[in-house]
Amino acid sequence: MNTPARATAVPYPATRDVQRFIDAHPLSALQIRVVVLCLLIVAIDGIDIGLAAYIAPSVRREWGLSIAELSPVFVSGLVGMMVGSLIFGPLADRWGRRPVLIASVAFFGVATLATLLIGNVLGLSVLRFVCGMGIGGATPTAATLTAEYAPERRRLSIITIMLCGNSLGSALGGVIASQVISRFGWQAMLVVGGAVPIALLPALWFGLPESMRFLALRRPDTQPMLRALARRIAGSRGDAAPGDDVVFVATEREVTRASVRQLLSPACARGTLLLWTTFFMGLMVLFLMANWLPTILTAAGASMRAASLTTALWSVGGTCGGLLLGQAMDRFPPHRVLALAYTAACVLIFMVGRVYATPALLAPIVFLAGFCISGSQVGINGLAAEFYPTAVRATGVAWATGIGRIGSMLGSALGGYLLAARLPYATLFAATCIPMLIAALCMSAMRQRDAGPSGNLSFNITDQRKS
């Protein structure tokens, strides 16, 4: 008598959520490499962003320009950053973080070198616009990629550490400018600003992976690549390495087409608008100070070397501020940490207007002002990267940055206008306190639920913290 054969159960492939897998492991060499490469990208961004400010006094003197005639050079670069943010962000959500990052770096490296061929304000402004487009695409995409390789428990601090590369690069640019311009001319700074990003391209091409969350959400046919990346994160823990039957997923509500309408959906409209306003006000002040501080100091009697080094102190303060504020934002409600920093910035900017002619007092106050203002900008970038889910994260960060770039354009143009109007410096700096006060109020107005309910377009960034 034949016994009926038992049906053999066919096991379904195990599914693993990408973020939970990352959260379950310590930081691996792969994740550290992503952070370091992204830090280098934004550091080079910092050098290039500050480049126009550092060469401005020399260009103005050599070409016989007034302050008003020099303003388009600053503004055009910032317009390019805004355009680049709005273009490259959605492209990163559609095509991937890696190709957009590499293209952005190549874009601004080539444009900076091409500036060497220009001998007039119009040409310089056009190429600063093109360069700005690349910079505008690189920084928010780097923040997005870093966020998606970071464990959730340490995400804000890791993002802020990476974004500190921007102020670190700006500080390094100031030190380089103080040595290079006086010896080799301002054109040598363009060589530095263009050659360094191009030299980084091979490391990015061979060493920068695509986001696992992006691959799981947008490209389900890349499971072998996902498993390979996961094994590198698991490292020597062979028991935790995924087998060939594992399918990685991104368990969040999928948005098939990232758009600004989703950023303004009822789930996250309030938080988005508060972020946009804070970005606008923060970058307005940051770029007014970063672009015009060397010119203000040289007009007040400082040497080019002293002005560059003092401006570098601003950036060093921003690096320290980004690191310490990032740690504080992981321990306390991040919006409250930023509100406090913006409030302190109001006081410090006011003091800069009182002591600008006294180097012994100016240096520490500029350092502390950079700590609060540039450090807060690093922090708000980290907050924005935490705020949005994978499907719209690059778009969300890019739009926040793009809105901020409008503020940076206004700040740069306003700085030139106020200087051309020969307003007392004390009045100029007192007026600059107003945007910082608005930014502080926006962060104070942010509530725990503004971080977004889990399962909607955004998720709760303060679910582990008391509001």
pLDDT at position 240 is: 58
The pLDDT > 90 percentage for the chain reads: 21
Q: Distance between alpha carbon 64 and the CA centroid of its chain, in Å? A: 34
| pLDDT tens-digit map of 39-63 | 999 998 888 877 877 888 888 888 8
390 burial class (0-12, 13-18, 19+ CB within 10 angstroms)? buried
DSSP codes, 268-302? THHHHHHHHHHHHHHHHHHHHHHHHHHHHHHHTT-
Output the CA–CA distances (angstroms, integers) from residue 112 to 162, 190, 193, 380, in the order listed.
Answer: 23, 6, 6, 28
Contacts of 363 (CB under 8 A, 6+ apart): 310, 313
Greater confidence, 306 or 204? Answer: 204
Helix or strand (DSSP H, E) at 32: helix 29-63
pLDDT at position 71 is: 78
| pLDDT tens-digit map of 316-361 | 888 888 888 878 887 888 889 999 999 999 999 999 888 877 778 8
Output the CA–CA distances (angstroms, integers) from residue 110 to 116, 120, 192, 277, in the order listed.
Answer: 11, 19, 12, 33
Spatial separation of the C-alpha atoms in residues 48 and 196, rounded to whole Å: 10
With cut-offs at 50, 70 and 90, classify the pLDDT of residue 466. very low
Instruction: With respect to residue 458, please indicate whether it lies within any of the assigned structural domains.
Output: no
Instruction: With respect to residue 115, please indicate whether it lies within any of the assigned structural domains.
Output: yes
Angle, helices 269-299/359-387, rounded to nearest 10 degrees: 160
pLDDT at position 453 is: 34
Mean pLDDT of the chain: 80
Does residue 3 have a pLDDT over 60? no
Does residue 465 have a pLDDT over 50? no
| pLDDT tens-digit map of 155-199 | 777 887 888 888 788 878 878 888 888 888 888 888 988 999 999
pLDDT at position 41 is: 93
Angle, helices 121-149/67-95, rounded to nearest 10 degrees: 40
User: Coil, strand, or helix at residue 249?
Assistant: strand
pLDDT at position 99 is: 93
Spatial separation of the C-alpha atoms in residues 320 and 381, rounded to whole Å: 16
Greater confidence, 368 or 259? Answer: 368
With cut-offs at 50, 70 and 90, classify the pLDDT of residue 16. confident
Residues of the domain holding 422 = 15-451
Contact 100, 13 (CB under 8 A): no
Contact 47, 193 (CB under 8 A): yes
Contact 261, 395 (CB under 8 A): no
pLDDT at position 389 is: 67
With cut-offs at 50, 70 and 90, classify the pLDDT of residue 220. confident
Q: Which CATH number is 186's domain given?
A: 1.20.1250.20
pLDDT at position 459 is: 36
Does residue 417 have a pLDDT over 50? yes
Candidate ranges 84-88, 133-137, 443-447; pick with highest mean pLDDT? 133-137
pLDDT at position 372 is: 93
Spatial separation of the C-alpha atoms in residues 107 and 137, rounded to whole Å: 10
Instruction: With respect to residue 239, please indicate whether it lies within any of the assigned structural domains.
Output: yes
Average pLDDT rounded to a whole number, residues 108-125: 87
Instruction: With respect to residue 457, please indicate whether it lies within any of the assigned structural domains.
Output: no
Does residue 306 have a pLDDT over 90? no
User: Coil, strand, or helix at residue 417?
Assistant: helix
Please give the span between the terminal C-alpha atoms of the chain, in angstroms, as a whole number.
72
91, 450, 452, 446: which is closest to 253 by C-alpha? 452
Place of tokens 């530095």: 192
Question: 10 Å Cβ neighbour count for 169?
Answer: 25
Greater confidence, 161 or 206? Answer: 206
Instruction: With respect to residue 6, please indicate whether it lies within any of the assigned structural domains.
Output: no
215, 182, 203, 204: which is closest to 303 by C-alpha? 182
Spatial separation of the C-alpha atoms in residues 322 and 40, rounded to whole Å: 16
How many distinct structural domains can be found in the chain? 1
Instruction: With respect to residue 460, please indicate whether it lies within any of the assigned structural domains.
Output: no
Average pLDDT rounded to a whole number, residues 65-89: 81
Alpha helix ranges (H) inside 115-154: 121-149
Average pLDDT rounded to a whole number, residues 63-88: 82
Spatial separation of the C-alpha atoms in residues 448 and 464, rounded to whole Å: 10
With cut-offs at 50, 70 and 90, classify the pLDDT of residue 1. very low
| pLDDT tens-digit map of 287-298 | 888 778 877 887
With cut-offs at 50, 70 and 90, classify the pLDDT of residue 367. very high
Spatial separation of the C-alpha atoms in residues 76 and 79, rounded to whole Å: 5
Instruction: With respect to residue 159, please indicate whether it lies within any of the assigned structural domains.
Output: yes
Instruction: With respect to residue 389, please indicate whether it lies within any of the assigned structural domains.
Output: yes
Greater confidence, 386 or 433? Answer: 433
pLDDT at position 34 is: 94
Average pLDDT rounded to a whole number, residues 387-407: 77
With cut-offs at 50, 70 and 90, classify the pLDDT of residue 7. very low
